Structure 1
Amino acid sequence: MHIDISTEEFLFNGQAYFLPSLSIDNVIFGFHKNELKVLLLQLQNNPKWELPGGFIYKDEEIEDAAARILTARTGLADLFLQQFYVFGSTQRTRKELLVEAMNQITDQSWLMNRFVSIGYYALVDYEKVNLQPTETANVYAWHDLNKIPELFFDHRQIIEKALQTMRLQLNHLPIGYNLLPEEFTLKSLQTIYETILGRKLDRSNFSRKILGYGILQKKEKHYSGSAHKAPFLYSFNKEAYFKALETGLDKDF
């Protein structure tokens, strides 16, 4: 769903189209070559960075809104989005910050009201992301998690909560489907887990647990890029993988 409205109409009559006082902030983590980054954007008149977020149309499901915003910002569709928290502090959307960020805004704008934000996170291969500039935000960049610049509102807190939640949910939800080639080694999958968790995992323990989930299919052929005993290749059992996203897993790392 998308409705074309002018910037002026959005600023001063957005409540005619969107749910008032409710927004979505997507934390888009990007993984590639053993690095984990987060996608941030800059408004044209604001030196601070922020998360790619947006608003919910009045007749739109919240999950559909989160997916629409993600696609609009990254060019990617059909990704697994996880709702992780609601941010509703009375101090999170201060008027002076809005005025500083958007020079066209006035006290009459609906954006000057208090907003509660629903947080979602996604994990993507950032080399596959096609960033989409918008009329008000034309600077996008991937940032290392340990080098995050000054952020707007409470967006640093949102990122920290998303990372904390993703690490906890590694024990209950599978990952890697959109981050690996069709066939891969267990070591490649373990590297993704270690990068997100920020710690090393025991190889044999990881193999035992990940194979115990029943979401991988072992191939008859071996990996050809190893000088030593070549490891087996695996692929995801798509049906089992997506069922596990719905029902969860039961083994902790």
Structure 2
Amino acid sequence: MLNPNSQPQPAVAQSGALGRYMIQAIYMLLVTLPLSIIGFTLSVTLIALGFGLTPLLIGLPLLKLAVHLSHALMMEDVRRTRGILPAKAANAVPSQHAFGPFTYRELLTTTAPYVPLGYWLGKLPAAIGQFTAAVVFPICGTAMLFSPAVYLILERYGIPSFQDDVVFDVLMPALTGLQRAYVATGLGAVFILIGGPLLAVLARSQGSRIASMLQPRAEAIIVEAPAATEQRSAFLFKHPMEDLKESEYEFPLANPAMKDANSSH
């Protein structure tokens, strides 16, 4: 079994803020949702099928195959996640994970083989949010930047645009169609500016979740409580004079003759 702490972290190729923004947008548009659907579907289906067929004995090999396949897909997503993070955040995400080999008994009695299943159960909802954010802000914002060009092209062919827009009719009824197109361009720029920090937060959140799941936890130190008798003895007070013996009070006389006189009486 590999120890992730003993393996050096591979270097992550770094890019500027704009390049990282583009990489994050591409990952959240094209990678995260399809990979999450595949990982979630295969993990849940094969693991459930393996448990169901366990009484027939063929379920145990299928269960072992399912957990290792789920783990391989998870590590592929981990590798891609490290590529969209800054250097400091990427180094905090483990590039390896100690996993297996598991015996058939461990598949039924421990939870370690099912860490990848828990990963995909949480990743699919997060991937839907990432995909939505990437579509709304970078993609829609970029499309809105070309609103004046679209307006002029459609106007040339006699196709009206922005004149009958319900939102603009309520908010800006006095503006012409071209002026409304320029307003849409400004909104697109705002969407793009919002998308950068938002995608960065989503990427860091995913990296933190991966690090919390894959990094080994410190073992708890169990301190046994002292016996009740020892606890009581700590509060007992014993006067020091109780340990003195009677012989310690017998002091020799300075004049031996007085001792002989006393003994004769």
Larger % of helix: which?
2
Higher Cα Rg: structure 1 or 2?
Answer: 2
Larger % of strand: which?
1
Q: TM-score range by the shorter chain?
A: under 0.3
TM-score normalised to structure 1 length = 0.25
TM-score normalised to structure 2 length = 0.24
